[in-house]
Amino acid sequence: MKIAVIADPHFHDVVSWPGLEGPAFRSFADSIASTRVFNESSPALKALLDDIVRHGISLVIIAGDLSDDGQRAAMAKTAALLDDYTRRHGLRFLATPGNHDLYAIHGRHQSKRFLNADGSHVLVTSDAEMPQGDSVARLVTDDMYCGGYAQALADMASFGFFRQASDLHWESPFGSDDDLDNRRFVIRSADGATERNMIDASYLVEPVAGLWVLSLDANVFEPRNGDLDPVAEASYHDSTSAGWNAMLRHKPFIFDWMSDVARRARAQKKKLIVFSHYPMINPSNGALADEMALFGMSDSLRRVPVRAVAETVAATGIKVHFGGHLHVNHTAVYHDSDGFLVNVAVPSMVAFPPAYKVVGIEAERLTVETALIGDVPGYDVAFPFYRAETDSEGLTGAADHVDFLDRHLALLVRERYLPKEWPADLARLAPMLSLVELDRLAGDPRSLLAEEIGPRVSDGQLTLLDMITDWYRLRKANSLALDFIPPERIARYRALVRRFRTDRSWLPGSLQAQLAKFMRLMSAGLDGNPSADFTIDLRDGAVEDLSRHRGRTERRQTGGA
């Protein structure tokens, strides 16, 4: 048996939007400020599903964030697309809700900018109080509103959240009744004074004989202190940065149920596949301390799970977990005296690298292969509108979907990550310092301050910014990134890492001290890359590398499976 696992499709239909004339293209300026692209989700998800059909796979797991941002129109169109693949190709979809699919009890407003052919944009919002800003027009519509649990789960009803006639077994943490009124728990504010009755969407299903699929709802909408309006978005802590860390505090019943499910699966000899939206193990290649030292508590680091999550899950008997949310390709393993846990981080089709996982189920092992999707018909559907809006970075010169996402990542590094996460002096110097100058600094006997360094780069020279961008490629794609970084650059990076690996004690706060921290991160990125294709021994958690590195062309031709 083979199963496809996809994550974070963030589907946005570019064909039309209620109330708008013509195509419904989102502003690319908004994509530059985001960790994902928007319009490309439409052709990318269709290409991914077509690839799954070509491989003869019928069971598809979706690890959350099915829609763009949970808007009513987006949820309806996402469900319609997936239901069409069910009707035409027999695909069965099992999903878990992501933080972009729903919001707490009553939902929240959404506002998006849609492009006109001349590069201007229209603000489409569900909030009548939202100002028009620099948009040329404003459209207020309920179709833009993101629903709460009841509304969103009704939209995704056929994706495992409710019992289907063909299911051999179905249950939730609350029993066999799939009525949402009987799938509620009490969640309290930090001070204990405010209580809300919240739905949990977790379920266990046996879609085919011998296979159990456990979908865990790891969204946590914690009420803020004070008896605030339960309808207001600001009355809750957003689940985006909470994930499994908040599950430890607010959903202990889920861990008890996980233990019971794992015990019964072993006793009944069922194969158990477990997934949620959020990761259970930090995908940092063991470099968390170095990232904290360089960046402090960045937005990215706020989203990673603490060690106690893996400890608690391993004690339940759950052995392998698939998750999304971070848009990265990664595999991490945790071992302790209670057992082990393997967390497989599944990438997204709307961020670099665009790929999904193919899981083969055997007697005592799982085989996991990574399918990189480069051939996306219509990946450039919005390019004429981007040209009218902005093309200063050559975005519309992308050769294919992968190349477009790679260019988007480079923009993210410059426009989002550097200014928001990096020390200001390194961010300023990144485009100025060449690799030649970095090598000289590594051998300089003085500990220099950043302000002592001016522009030191000539045309055509690789810079610190290039190296940082390649580090983000490695951080997000791991071994897949080796298909996108020339070998000669890898060799130069390794040489620089060695140059900064000396016993010298750089003056704290000096430029070299900061560069040495980054070089440690680069070393982890170069040497700690998990393979894209591997097997997991379900008896001891051993992960065996199937192919350290498969060429880009071969992976595209085979789909990676």
**For residue 419, what is the enclosing H or E element?**
helix 418-421
Whose CA is closest to 351, among 400, 396, 402?
402
Residue percentage of the chain with pLDDT more than 90: 79
DSSP string, 126-143: S-TT---TT-SEEEE-GG
Give the residue-averaged pLDDT of 83-97: 98
Give the residue-averaged pLDDT of 286-294: 81
Neighbours of 398 (CB within 10 A): 18
8 Å CB contact between 246 and 223: no
Where are the chain's structural domains?
109-145, 422-527
Per DSSP, the three-state class of 228 is: coil
User: Taking the model in full, what pTM does it have?
Assistant: 0.94
Average pLDDT, the chain: 92
- Candidate from 324-338, 390-404, 419-433 with smallest mean pLDDT: 390-404
| Residue-wise pLDDT tens digits, 63-80 | 999 999 999 999 999 999
Tokens 């016993």 map to which residue? 503
What pLDDT is stored for residue 392 in this prediction?
57
| Residue-wise pLDDT tens digits, 224-255 | 999 889 999 999 998 888 899 999 999 999 99
**Spatial CB neighbours of 296, under 8 Å, sequence gap ≥ 6:** none
- Which whole-number Å values give the CA distances from 173 to 153, 199, 473, in the listed order? 16, 11, 39
Helical segments of 269-415, H only: 288-295, 299-302, 307-316, 383-389, 401-412
Helix, strand, coil fractions of the chain, as percent rounded to 5: 40, 20, 40
DSSP string, 477-543: HGGGGGGTS-HHHHHHHHHHHHHH-SS--PPTTSHHHHHHHHHHHHHHHHH----SEEEEETTT--E
What pLDDT is stored for residue 557 in this prediction?
32
| Residue-wise pLDDT tens digits, 454-512 | 666 666 789 999 999 999 999 999 999 998 999 999 999 999 999 987 666 788 888 99
What pLDDT is stored for residue 393 in this prediction?
64
* Res. 554: pLDDT tops 50: no
Rg (CA), the chain: 24
